[in-house]
Each structure stands twice: as structure tokens, then as C-alpha cells.
Amino acid sequence: MSLIDLKKSSVSKAKKKKVTADEFIADAENYAAGKTSVVSSAKTNLDQPIMTKETDWPKNQLKKCKSTKRHATFTLSEDAIVQLNLLSKESQLAKSHIIRILVNECCHEKNWLYYLNQKLIN
Amino acid sequence: MMILVGGEKGGSGKSCLAQNLAVYFTRDKNAIVLMVDCDPQRTTSDWIQARNTDPTLPAINCIQLYGKIRNDLLSLNQHYDYVIIDCGGQDNLALRAAMSVADHVVIPLRPKRRDLKTVPHMEDMLSTCKMVNPKLLASFLIAQCPALPSQLKRINEAKEVCSSYGINVLNAVTYNRNIYDDSEEQGLSVLELDPEGKAALEMTAIAEELMAMTPDDSYEFN
């Protein structure tokens, strides 16, 4: 079997975040723990809508990219559905994308459980 | 000069390469060499122990260091002509610390899919490291190649895969030879066991290719 399909498929260079030597070294522990690593270029930035057209993707990447997300079903209240529709209309983002942003923000809170409880109280 | 032999893949011949480079610089360049064994498997430390039982062999010092070893390495580098670091097959604190101060990093990979799949992460790591260590020269080495002529295509493909990530790939390769194992058992290098043999020529070619590289001072790989 040929090894050629392992060649780098994209030549675009994402700008690396500046790090100090100590940060670079300590980051090995993030990598070992499966957390987001400063050296990783495969990080998804959920703050920016992804507008790439599928037709722009290389054929061999299309299948892979499609598999990075999957369908999930949740139960929402009528109010939440109306609010989500409104948010989607005003931001021009897909509803799923808005949910991903909110989940991501919540997870970046240091004490995410406390953060969620505070939201429930308010 | 500090030379790191590392990578994320186990069993690709890192310790073997580090040991043979250490003997090359000691024997052929009359240099004072220190080996730093960062691999908890202690392959290099055991090899040095076997070597020290034969007083006719030129002595090579070896120490074991783990964790955040950046300052230790900078200090040791002042007392030796060559510091050769053997890091085990995983991305850990010692590998990154050594990478942040090394002049050369050599990453041996077999021409196998499982080895080549580590290249994207190594490229991410190396390009980030360049920001903190602009003098770093990084090279992939295609190691333990099958000797059958029909497998030449596979070796060239492996080189092509590594090159596509913008990191240098050494022209020299190593082939799967029993002499590498036989020499290690006795605390020897292939340069000592069979100085005129093919394996000795492979190791000499690698060392000479590394030494012929132009020093770098850039924050990115070209």
C-alpha cells in the first residue's frame, strides 16, 4: 500500500500562537492529558463561523471533515426554541453553531459547574 | 553542540542512533561526549554499562535526566564538545525541554504508516519550538528500511511524506541490519564492530550530513 496519501494535504500555514520556552515545555502535560495543546494546529475556533464551501475541500478530505460533527437530539422548551430561532436569525449563524459556541464558552470557564449553577439561579 | 534524538514513535531506532553518533564523535572526532538518557527504559544507560566493562573502548559519560531539564542541559553543554540526548518515544517534558535548547533534532521514523502518522504532530511541535529556539535544525531520518530493492519506492515515498511537512529529511537512511542489535548487546557501536561495514557507512553518512548543515537563526522552517 502506498504511503503517499499521508502527505500534507493543505499548504496553508496557520499563524502559530507565540509561546515562551516554559509554556512550550509545560504544554507537554496538556498534550499527554488530551487537553488543547499550544502546538496543535488542528484546533477548531468556535468563535468564527465556518463558511468553507464543501466544493472547496479536497475530495479525500471531504469524508473526514464531514465526520467531525454528528447529529444529536435534545429536548428544548418552546421558549428556548423561539429564543434560539431569534438568535439564529439575528446572528445569521446556524442553530447548531450557536449551541456549539455556548457549550464551548461554558467549558472554558474554570469552574464550569459553578458557572452553570449561577446561570440557573439568575 | 547539543544533538537530540527524539520523536513520538517507539522502536524507530532512537537509542541506536544516539549511541552510534556518540561513538562517531568520540572515536572519529576525538570529542568529549556526554550522553543524556531521558528514556525511562534506560536502553542507553544499559548500553553504557555494558560498554564500561571493556576498558579498551573509548569512555563515554552518560547521565539520566527526566522532566524539565532545560537548564541542566544548558549547563552541561558548556562542559562537553557534544551532548547527545536520547529521548524516549513520546511527547513529554524532557523531549520538549531538550528541543527548546538543542542545535539539532533528529527524528528517526520507519517507512511505515504508523510511524509516518506521527509526522503532523512533530511538525506542529517543531514549528512552535522554532519560536523559542531559532537555531534548531530539525531532520527526519528514514530508519530500519527494508533492504530489498523492490522496497526502494516505499523509502522514497516515506521521504516524500516527511518533506511535504516542510521539515528536512536526511538523504542518508539506515537499513534493517542485525549488526545494530549485535553491537548494542556488547556495548559497541557498528563503527567499532565492523568499521568498514555498511552499517558503519550509514552512521558516518548521517553524522557527516548533520555536521554539514548550515547553522540556522530563523523563527520558521523554510
pLDDT in tens, B15-66: 999 999 999 999 999 999 999 999 999 999 999 999 999 999 999 999 999 9
Q: Do A28 and B92 touch (CB under 8 A)?
A: yes
Residue of B nearest to A25 (CA): B96
Q: Is the pLDDT of residue A92 over 50?
A: yes
Task: Check pLDDT > 80 for residue B101.
Answer: yes
**Residues in chain A within 8 Å Cβ distance of B119:** 6
Beta strands at B2-5 and B104-109: parallel, antiparallel or unpaired: parallel
Considering only CB atoms, A16 lies closest to which of B92, B127, B133, namely B127
Per-residue model confidence (pLDDT) at position A14? 65
Say how many C-beta atoms besides its own lie within 10 A of residue A70's C-beta.
Answer: 6
Q: What is the pLDDT of residue B157?
A: 96
Give dist(CA B94, CA A25) in Å, integer.
Answer: 8
Query: What is the DSSP code string of B68-130?
Result: S-HHHHHHHHTT-SEEEEE--SS--HHHHHHHTT-SEEEEEE-SSHHHHTTHHHHHHHHHHHH
The per-residue pLDDT for A9 is 81
ipTM above 0.95, yes or no: no
Q: How big is the CA angle at B44 (ends B134 and B105), to the nearest 5 degrees? A: 15
Residue type, A19: V
At residue B219, what are phi and psi to the nearest 5 degrees? -85, 0
Candidates A20, A23, A24, A38: best to mutate against B (most CBs of B within 10 A) is A24
pLDDT of residue B191 exceeding 90: yes
pLDDT in tens, A50-67: 444 455 555 665 555 555
Helix crossing, B14-23 with B43-52: angle to 10°?
40
- Quote the pTM value: 0.75
pLDDT band at B142 (very low <50, low <70, confident <90, very high): very high
| B150–chain A Cβ distance below 8 A for any pair | no
Distance CA B222, CA B218 (A): 9
Strands B104-109 and B137-142, by their bridges, are parallel
Number of CB pairs, chain A paired with chain B, less than 8 A apart: 75
CA A4 from chain centre, in angstroms, equals 29
Q: Is some CB atom of chain A closer than 8 A to the CB atom of B128?
A: yes
